[in-house]
Amino acid sequence: MVYLESRKNLAGCACGIAGLALTFAGLAGAYWPVVVAGLYGAGALIAPPERPPAPDFPDPSSRLEALRADFGTLRDYLGRVELPPAAAGHLAELMELLDGLLAPGWVSEALATDPEGVHVLSRAVHQDIPESVDTFVRTRWWTRIAPGTEPPERHLERQLTLLHREAEGLAAGLREAEARRQQTHTRYLEDRDRGRG
């Protein structure tokens, strides 16, 4: 079935039909089967080869949709974890910033065109935040058994501060890209106006 719909078969059939037309016109004579078969073969040989379909990679916006769903799962997990007030405040600020970056709209549309930005957010949601919180929970348990070591909430607060800084850098990059786009459009309009004058 694949060959019947292939370019080679279709080109061969077209040439074979031309051979039948030559036969009915009286130009092929007694050798008409050889002419028709030869023209079919020639058509099949000169037809371009089948092109394999290009890989269908997921659209960047679909990656963001999956990341939004995972962000909801992370939010549910964090809602069940008890954190000290300072760390909880840092985490709330970070989650609010990530929520703003992932919210549907022009920000996420701009983010979808930035694979590195999507990677940064994906790493924060899938790895960095869960690992920071989970490590804190496990380390806090050990601290209760062996007091006198550095409090694990200090590490958690530093980690959340660094993650917040990274997310702020991503937001600043998106903001700068939009500002450059606006400036470019202004220059374009000014150049167009000068061209009319």
Summarised one tens digit per residue, pLDDT across range 110-132 is 888 888 888 999 999 999 999 99
Same domain, 173 and 121: yes
* Whether residue 176 is found in the same domain as residue 143: yes
Q: Kindly state whether residue 148 falls inside one of the protein's structural domains.
A: yes
* Residues 43-79 pLDDT 10s: 888 887 777 777 877 766 678 888 999 999 999 999 9
CB 153 within 8 A of CB 136: yes
| Same domain, yes or no: 64 and 23 | no
Whether the predicted model's global pTM rises above the 0.85 cut: no
Boundaries of domain holding 22:
7-46
Token pair 């949601």 is at which residue? 125
The answer on 137 and 41 residing in a single domain is no
Task: Give a yes or no: residue 55 inside a domain.
Answer: no
